[in-house]
A = this chain, B = another copy of it.
């Protein structure tokens, strides 16, 4: 079946995105060439252009896909709570969801916040809007907790960014098979977040 020319596969598209995701995360967008990506996939560089108009679109598509998955997954997670769930329970749900979701996609996460400056201006605006939506989701929880007296937070906007920054820190050091399971890590972070917004 091995052909050295012609149509090899109908899943080349996904394989290109997988390779680009991994290489961009490891070396950075600017440091990775189309030839490297092609080699990883097992095609020639020219073939990539059947799937993407250019390198920039490849980056943008990866980031957009990641952000849309994130937002969709949170909406599912959020609506799976009980009707009367209070802000504290919602916050714990968010913290555990955020860590769990992101740890399953370390490469996409890394790209989504390291490669913002390599987006074209118009693509940057699009991605930033998606990011803002996600931050708004957390801020809504925090505001609700403040309103119901469960939380004491001097500035919900800053607290939102602080919590996300803290949680994202997990990605820089956690490796599976280490001292703690992912669930234990979630619990440690939840303990800190819970106290940091507490009365």
Contact = CB atoms under 8 A, between A and B. Distances in A.
A1 interface: no
B154 A188 contact: yes
B118 A31 contact: yes
* Number of copies of this chain that the complex holds: 2
A3 to B, nearest CB: 35
A36 to B, nearest CB: 13
Given A31-B118, A162-B166, A164-B169, 4 more contacts: A114-B114, A158-B185, A161-B169, A162-B169
24 contacts: A27-B30, A28-B28, A28-B30, A28-B117, A114-B114, A154-B187, A154-B188, A155-B180, A158-B185, A158-B188, A159-B188, A161-B172, A161-B173, A162-B166, A162-B189, A163-B166, A165-B165, A165-B166, A165-B172, A166-B166, A166-B169, A192-B196, A192-B197, A195-B198
